[in-house]
Chains A and B, each alone.
Chain A
Amino acid sequence: MVPVEYYIILSAVLFTIGVAGVLIRRNALIIFMSIELMLNAANLAIVAFSSVIKSYSGQIFVFFVIAVAAAEVAVGLALIVEIFKSKRSIDVDQMSSLKG
């Protein structure tokens, strides 16, 4: 028996580590991985809440989130490959072509 608060706190901690990764790192791939970590933390919270209310709708929602995350990764990594081809770097600090 684990209180649901523990899962929620763990989910918040993992989400925060993901946010810190997006803020601190400059490698676009690491930033992308941090986004995946945040999605995962949110999924964990959803499943925890859904098992408290004894309903399957939360699990189905998480299933859709996983499917959309897979689609997002396919498109995002294609974009990163294209950026690398044109700039020879995936440092986000150097992606400033649109800077005014």
Chain B
Amino acid sequence: MSGDLILFLILSLVAIATALGMLLSRNAVYSALFLVLNFITVAVFYLLLGAPFIAMAQITVYAGAIMVLFLFVIMLLGAESLPKGDALPWQKPLAATLAIILAVEATYLLVTKARPAGDILAPEGSVNAMESIRQLGMSLFSDYLLPFEVTSVVLLVAMVGAIVLTKKEKGEQK
């Protein structure tokens, strides 16, 4: 058993445990903190897969910006936990059954049908980290220049949309 495999197994246990913690904890703040840990674990997986730029983007954008926004909204609304309501009685067992069916199906189809040509990953065989980031940048600003620019428009639209949604109308009471 190689070091990579041991690292992968430990990290995947952490990833699944934090995802379940996010799902099951009663308090939304704990859920958000579990999800931050999950995102950081996934960032380490990206490093193992030889994608250092995506790993750093994951940490800065997801674990940094997005989860801070989540925590800010949770604390702004004071909506840490919902009052005990009358939930549908059959909702949880049905959802769990459907989720297990989906997990089995997805795993089966992805492993058997979508099997890629090369089956072993060799992160140490890839070029060093700086070289891979350089090549990623070259390809992003040459082949994928138009999608890159469109992304900036998407971000602008989202910014304007968020401002328009939350700002008070002129003449609105309160």
Contacts and interface: CB of A to CB of B under 8 A. Distances in A.
Interface of A: 1-21, 23-27, 29-30, 32-34, 36-37, 40, 43-45, 47-54, 56-57, 59-60, 62-64, 66-75, 77-82, 84, 89-91, 93
A84 B77 contact: yes
A83 B153 CA distance: 26
B75 to A, nearest CB: 11
A40 B62 contact: yes
Contact of B158 (A13, A63, A74): A74
B96 interface: yes
Contacts of A20: 23, 95-96, 99
B2 A29 contact: no
B23 A53 contact: no
Interface string B52-71: 01100110011001100110
A40 B45 CA distance: 11
A60 B140 contact: yes
25 contacts: A3-B121, A4-B116, A4-B120, A8-B107, A17-B19, A20-B99, A21-B22, A24-B92, A25-B23, A29-B28, A30-B31, A33-B32, A34-B23, A44-B42, A47-B46, A50-B51, A51-B121, A51-B123, A60-B136, A67-B61, A67-B155, A81-B166, A82-B166, A84-B79, A89-B79
Question: What does DSSP make chain B's interface, helix, strand, loop or mixed?
Answer: helix
A17 B73 contact: no
A69 B66 contact: yes
Interface of B: 2, 4-5, 8, 12, 15-16, 19-20, 22-23, 28, 31-32, 35, 38-39, 42, 45-46, 48-51, 53-54, 57-58, 61-62, 65-66, 69-70, 73-74, 76-77, 79, 81-82, 85, 87, 91-92, 94-96, 98-100, 102-103, 106-107, 110-111, 114-123, 126, 132, 135-136, 139-140, 144, 147, 151, 154-155, 157-159, 161-162, 165-166
Contact of A29 (B61, B70, B91): B70
